[in-house]
Amino acid sequence: MPATARKSAPSAKRTPSPERPERDATVDEIYERIYVAILEHRLQPGIKLGEEKMAEIFGVSRARIREVLARLAHEQIVELYPQRGAYVAKPTPEQARDVFEARRLIEPAVLKRLIDTVTADKINRLRQHAELEADARRRNDKRAVIRLSGEFHTLVAELAGNSSLARSMRELCMLTCLTIFLYDAPTAQSCRHDEHSLIIDALAKKDRARAEKLMLDHLDHIEGSLQLEDNGGEADLVEIFRA
């Protein structure tokens, strides 16, 4: 755990409000708000995270904001530039491919760990989450769909019970969300609607081989729906001016 990742006081259960915070938001709480904003695509790649503005929004010192930004920079979610400040990261196509490669290694390990420790209660939690996703799709709430899709993967990691894997999954989900924002092909989807349910079915049956295969196919589908060709930053001017 990075030194900046502090647990909030046990008595502090209230959701922090940006308007009138009753007490200072902790590093964890501010981090969580940024995490959700990235997952919902409200906070987009390349957006400046001004220290002063952020301190004002969360009603905390600039030092605390710097702590949060340092943690996010450590996780590659934020890029820090001397003199210029902090910006939400814009993963390159190469970094995007690295993220999917890491997920293909980590997520089967997560599934194995979950199958080893699976209970009816854990399966219920996953089904409830899948139901929230289905509900957001029915309402056509795109922000909720993309956030819940990402959170499905972190929930699987949390239920697996390995805090290191769960933390890595959260970072990778944030990077995946930034990647989807940057390289979304017109046909791209975050997670296909029925694939999470199929994975849950395999977990419920403790069918490790099938759960793993479904997850790897699932990741292939997400990566395959993105446009990750590296054009070295050169736009196709002929194509642009064809119209």
**Interface contacts to Zn ion, rule CB under 5 A:** 191
Nearest by Cα to 190 from 225, 229, 141, 153: 225
Between 126 and 191, name the residue whose CB sits nearer to Zn ion: 191
Quick one: 77 or 191, whose CB is closer to Zn ion?
191
What is the nearest approach in angstroms of Zn ion to the Cβ of residue 170? 14
Say if CB 215 and CB 199 are below 8 A apart: yes
Q: Which residue is nearest to Zn ion (CB)?
A: 191
Residue 211 Cβ, how far from Zn ion at the closest point, in Å? 13
Minimum CB–partner distance for residue 218 and Zn ion (Å): 6
Which residue number, 160 or 191, has a Cβ lying nearer to Zn ion?
Answer: 191
Min dist. Cβ of residue 196 to Zn ion (A): 6
Rounded Cα–Cα distance for residues 63 and 240 (Å): 45
Closer to Zn ion at the Cβ: 54 or 191? Answer: 191
Q: For residue 81, give the H/E element and its range.
A: strand 78-81
Asked if residues 45 and 88 have their Cβ atoms less than 8 Å apart, the reply is yes
Report which secondary-structure segment, H or E, holds 87. Answer: strand 85-88
Local structure of 184: helix, strand or coil: strand
